[in-house]
Amino acid sequence: MLLTIPLKVISAHFFFSYTSCCSLWGNVQTTPDIPAIAKYFTTKGRYEEVNPYLIDDILAVNKSLVKPPSAECREIHLTAIIRHGSRYPTTKNVKKMRALHNLVVQKASGEERWLREITQWKMWYTDEMDGRLVQKGVLDHRHLAVRLSKLFPSLISKEKLQDGHIKFMTSSKHRCVNSTLSFQGGLAKLWDIEDEEIDYEVNDALMRFFDKCTRFVETVDKNQSAMAELDKFTSSAEMRRVQEKIADRLLVPYSHITSDMAEAAFYLCAYELAIKTINSPWCQLFDEADALVLEYANDLKQFWKRSYGHDINSKSSCILFHDVFSRLDRAANEIRSGSNVTEAATIQVGHADTLLPLLTLLGFFKDSVPLTSNNYVTQGQRAFRTSRMMPYAANLVLVLYDCSGNLRLQALLNERPLAFPGLADNQGEEGAPLYQDVRDHYGELLQGCDFEKECQLFPSK
């Protein structure tokens, strides 16, 4: 489904509602009081925790870190798969938060100032918010658009946008559509564009492939036994200790604090920072040791539901994998034939559930030992850490370069170079291996990885 919206409408909708902390472009004017545990907020974390330099200048780019493979290289195509921006909690999480808040108001006691602040805190989250994009999420994508245009000015340019050489695609979910509009609006504001129309395509087949993969839905998503490791960790001594410490701080019986309530309190701290940029009194319920346990619990969930835990998790993204490489191949073939590249940049906005299976299929962040319920202590240095991989507005950017006839591919995650696994000896300058070597490395997937076959509940022999 292809939709068109005037850029003037984007500007009017997204550029005249600012938070008190922000200037016209959302630059932070005062340094917020950030909770010490913010770097452990997993998929509920802010993008700024991954790139702390953005706290001082939200439009800053690190061109010493992100640059062409060599001086002779020019970028010819960019594909970006981006998670939506900061959002409200889902209805499911709001209900958990409400249960915790009611318990605290009715049962908690103590004289500490922060505890009085919690008991006086008003429950303002409602079921109707249900994961909708917040103003900070608008800013996330507006700012990301500007930074990417600064990093790749020949691909994300006013001329390319107006000539239709930048394509936009989104999931149908409101938070993704509004993130896409925010990205477009960021470019419109940057280049002072009004009264022009720009297309975006709603494509759930690509951006919500997980909903359409029957084998994933039936054997993982709807199958509680697929999450056995998470369930066991939820009942572990580490998790019980976190719950007991919360109960001790609130002066309530241990039996009153469930694992759901511990998670709800942790996410209340995270949401208050992401949405309001405040250090909520809820954060006082946790120290770093607690945060590490709760981070691991969510990493277990993501590992077993969206990543290496089950083979179908990554194979469900075959359709997106092939789409990405078809765009790269088309640009490569156009350059080899002496033609102009017709699609300079592709911006695809989806979910953590879109990006994480694709990263897994490509082999990124794979530890030698899987995450399980009983190896928390030994996984302290694990590569698979969603707090670093998957904050709001997380993005995988693949940039194809023409280096005097040699095509090279550079991968970036959250605006930082990312080495292709298995190609360590052939990354080239600035971590950009020859494109043909990348294709050869993923040759088996390129020849197979058939979405229809992989997603059949009972694959034919």
Report the catalytic residues: 84
Residue 341 zone, left/alpha/beta (φ > 0; ψ -120 to 50; rest): beta
How many CB atoms are located within 10 Å of the residue 236 CB?
17
CA 172 remoteness from chain centre: 17
Rounded to 5 degrees, φ, ψ at 460 are -75, 145
* Side-chain half-sphere exposure of 210, counting CA atoms within 13 A: 20
Angle at CA of residue 297, ends 411 and 393, nearest 5°: 35
* Radius of gyration of the chain measured on its C-alpha atoms: 23
Which residue shows structure tokens 């080239």?
428
State how far the Cα of 300 lies from the Cα of 49, in Å rounded to an integer: 21
How many CB atoms are located within 10 Å of the residue 253 CB?
9
**Whether 406 contacts 336, CB under 8 Å:** no
State how far the Cα of 261 lies from the Cα of 263, in Å rounded to an integer: 5
DSSP strand E in 171-312: where?
Answer: 197-202
Q: Write the single-letter amino acid at 437.
A: D
